[in-house]
Structure 1
């Protein structure tokens, strides 16, 4: 299956289990893999036959910067659901949300959640 990749989009969000995270906010990185058939767009060279990258970015920005969740898992789940609901051409999505320097004991560069979801019609 073909895919469109969005690599290391950076956002400022207010997600976390600790009050300080919800108040001060922090950086989050999001990677997306959108699985869909790109052959029609490849032949037609028309935007309406594919996914508008700007629209996907804006949807991602809305979820990460405007909504608040305690868990990064919830951010990833919401993002996957919103994109699949909004873009029926996408058959499957892989979402990776990375939280750099999480406030947990020990030295961690980052933690990340990665989920893969399919359109409801493909879950049969």
Structure 2
């Protein structure tokens, strides 16, 4: 994931919560752990110059929003969950670009694997 030129980057990795996302009935009924990694592109210069949280993104609040998005209304696809989270991040005024990776480490796959993940990148239009 490459942040667009001219933007600084704030990253938060390993945000996890229990969610009931998936196409199988068992996934919806029992649920499983999902893990999200975020990369945010923004200009941190004004916040740094003023030492002012209100001029940047409050990643503490945003991670709580991400946690709640994972635990909220189920969707079939982790692609849809990733888009939901990207929309949340871009709703924060300073954020110009976001990369969201949703990991589904307990995906119902018949062979041994370490992780399944979808990564999307979105920016303000």
Q: Is this a same-fold pair by TM over 0.5?
A: yes
Stretch deviating more after TM superposition (61-70 or 25-34): 61-70
Is the counterpart of residue 110 in structure 1 residue 115 in structure 2? yes
Please, which of 85, 88, 95 is the counterpart of residue 90 of structure 1? 95
Displacement over 2 Å in runs of 4+: none
**Per-residue CA distance 1:70-119 (angstroms, 9 max, x = gap):** 100100011111221x2121000000000002111111111000000001
Structure 2 length-normalised TM: 0.91
Structure 1: 5+ residue stretches without partners: none
Structure 1 length-normalised TM: 0.92
The CA RMSD over aligned residues, in Å, is 0.9
Greater fraction helix: 1
* Contact 1:6–1:31 (CA under 8 A) maintained in structure 2: yes
Structure 2: 5+ residue stretches without partners: 1-6
How many residues get paired?
119
Map 1:1-124 → 2, pairs under 5 A: 1-84=7-90, 86-120=91-125
